[in-house]
Amino acid sequence: MEVDKMNEADWKYHGEGNKSLVVSHVQLSRVLRFLKYPAEDSENPPQTVEQAYRQIQNTVDFSSNVMSSLLGDKFIHSGEVVKLPLEFVRQLSIKVQQQRPAWRCDKVMDIYSGCALCLPNLTSPVLHQQTHTPTLCIEIKPKCGFLPSSKHVSKDIKTKVCRFCMHQHYKVANGKWKRRSLYCPLDLFSGNRQRMQFAIRHLTEEPQNNFKIFKGGQCIYSSKEGSDDSPDLNLLLHHLRPYFMNGNKRINSHMTSKAVLNDFIQVLVDALLSGGGEVMDRRGDGRSFCEASLFNKERVRHASPGLPSDSVLFRILQTQMLDMLDIEGLYPLYRRVEQHLQDFPKERSRLQIDGPYDEDFLEKLQKCPADDDCSVEHAVTKVHQYRVAMTAKDCSIMVTLVPSAEEKDDDDDDEGPRRVSVVRPPAFSCSVSVLDLDPKPFDSVARQLRLDQKIVSCYQRTGGTLPKAALPTLPAIFSAAEREECTLLFHPV
């Protein structure tokens, strides 16, 4: 990619989150990730070019020096900062504006710095393309996968119902989403296949910002915030069906929608459990089951033990668990650092509050003693651990499924009788990556405490119940009995 020959015609809108907007190249497997600013700052950019460059470089450093070591470098693509011609960036921002969802337009793309993060396009990889069938990519934002057990937790409910499930009530009450998602991260992170399938089925039913599907680089399935409509599951099944039609038992036979969805979910679970390593037993860990999950608790007793130690979910969970104190235990330490910085503003740099995110930063947070010696150094390291855990609680997993070349068991050797070709069951080569690994700003800790209090008090106010209209509607592929019995599991077909 030659930055001095950039043409907006070669790029198209790809997606966005709260703080970045992503465009993809129409031919190359590349994306550019731009910063976003609040719309009210659009006349006066809130940062200088140098600051914007530094912010993106910090993301690269944090990803490559800190997160990559914790999560495993096989999952990480840190990318590189690029400096682009301003005219290209301005034309691009005009071009993509129409495709942006209205609810994300409270922020505008940074058109002032010319800086962006250049990354491989994980939704349309060029390598290993064995067939002409487009690649399928599934993006999951799993959120926090454990219950806090810190002695600082003041509300008992936080040790029983997970943050995601409680947050759902707050989001519905505030109109962010019309319907509650029945997905529970603790089921996904359980390592138990049935619980994981159950979790993914609920992600499929109500994706919100936790689940997206791409085919050949195009997003074909996602939620629209504030929308009354659920995404079209039948359309998704129409896209998925050809990928799952070649199972042994299904030659020329009809495959039900439920079977297509089951197969898809099973492939996804396989990908999430891949990576190898010892299976880590979590059966004795009281933090791994959420009371708000609809998964039948009886089945948990007979559940398989846990996640393989080299799987993406295990590595993310371990990193999330660097939050050992919970926000309630962490906040006094944050205040200690904040006070220290008010008294000695120049200490900001020595304490690496805004980076650099180098090996030294990683070493300090890995060697932090559990006991508080009342020093600012201890407090800041705990805050850094918490910020790293926040990143792991907010990252996304991208599972790329490349269909293998169709193999045929022709058996058409010269000796035996000629038999009908039998196509083998669906096979994909899969790769797993983690994205959105930005360092969370130091002062986001204060916001976390306020949000935690709001979420818990909203949940306690509503007693964990929501109006019926706020429950997801099961799509037509499920039978009347399944609609009534939400806990029903997928059965092998």
Ligand X SMILES: O=P(O)(O)O[C@@H]1[C@@H](OP(=O)(O)O)[C@H](OP(=O)(O)O)[C@H](O)[C@H](OP(=O)(O)O)[C@H]1OP(=O)(O)O
Ligand Y SMILES: Nc1ncnc2c1ncn2[C@@H]1O[C@H](COP(=O)(O)OP(=O)(O)OP(=O)(O)O)[C@@H](O)[C@H]1O
With CB under 5 to 8 Å by kind, the binding choice for 122 among ligand Y, ligand X, none is ligand Y
Q: Among the candidate windows 11-19, 168-176, 228-236, 341-349, which touches ligand Y by CB under 6 A?
A: 11-19
x/- site string to ligand Y, residues 397 to 436, per CB under 6 A? --------------------------------------xx
Helices and strands counted in the chain (H then E): 16, 11
With respect to ligand X, which residue has the nearer C-beta, 163 or 336? 163
Cβ at position 46, least distance to ligand Y in Å: 16
Q: Residue 110, interface with ligand X (CB under 6 A)?
A: no
Q: Residue 263, interface with ligand Y (CB under 6 A)?
A: no
Which residues have CB under 8 Å from 166's CB, separation 6+? 157, 158, 292, 455, 456, 458, 459
* CA angle, 234 then 236 then 237, to 5°: 65
With CB under 5 to 8 Å by kind, the binding choice for 54 among ligand Y, ligand X, none is none
Helices 376-394, 326-343: inter-axial angle, 10-degree rounding: 130
* CB burial readout 371-409, b (16+ within 10 A) else e: eeeeebebbbbbbbbbbbbbbbbbbbbbbbbbbeeeeee
Q: CB neighbours (10 Å) of residue 469?
A: 10
Residues 187-246 that bind ligand Y (CB under 6 A): 212
276-279 long-range contacts (CB < 8 A, ≥24 apart) are 276/308, 276/310, 276/311, 277/308, 277/309, 277/310, 277/311, 277/314, 278/308, 278/309, 279/191, 279/304, 279/305, 279/306, 279/307, 279/308, 279/309
With respect to ligand Y, which residue has the nearer C-beta, 116 or 307? 116
Residues 341-400 that bind ligand X (CB under 6 A): 390, 394
Among 55, 391, 396, 431, interactor with ligand Y by CB under 6 A: 396
* CA angle, 387 then 116 then 364, to 5°: 25
With respect to ligand Y, which residue has the nearer C-beta, 451 or 488? 451
Among 121, 266, 288, 311, interactor with ligand Y by CB under 6 A: 121
Q: Residue 19, interface with ligand X (CB under 6 A)?
A: yes
Residue 149 and residue 159 in contact, taking contact as beta carbons nearer than 8 Å = yes
Residues 430-449 that bind ligand X (CB under 6 A): 440, 444, 448
Please report how many Cα atoms fall inside a 13 Å half-sphere around the Cα of residue 390, on the Cβ side. Answer: 21
Q: Which of 325, 326, 338, 327 is nearest to 372 (CA)?
A: 325
Residue whose token pair is 């997801």: 472
Among 11, 15, 17, 236, interactor with ligand X by CB under 6 A: 17
Q: Residue 224, interface with ligand X (CB under 6 A)?
A: no
With respect to ligand Y, which residue has the nearer C-beta, 31 or 236? 31
Q: Residue 100, interface with ligand X (CB under 6 A)?
A: no
Cβ at position 300, least distance to ligand Y in Å: 30
Among 11, 16, 220, 379, interactor with ligand Y by CB under 6 A: 16
Helices 193-205, 257-273: inter-axial angle, 10-degree rounding: 120
With respect to ligand X, which residue has the nearer C-beta, 423 or 458? 458
With CB under 5 to 8 Å by kind, the binding choice for 15 among ligand X, ligand Y, none is ligand Y
Q: Among the candidate windows 15-23, 24-32, 113-121, 275-283, which touches ligand X by CB under 6 A?
A: 15-23
Q: Which of 116, 87, 110, 82 is nearest to 2 (CA)?
A: 82
Among 20, 65, 113, 318, interactor with ligand Y by CB under 6 A: 20
Residue 57: both structure tokens together:
């470089």
Please give the residue ranges that form the binding site for ligand Y (CB under 6 A). 14-20, 22, 31, 33, 119-123, 139, 212, 394, 396, 435-436, 438
Residues that bind ligand X (CB under 6 A): 17-19, 167, 209, 390, 394, 440, 444, 448, 451
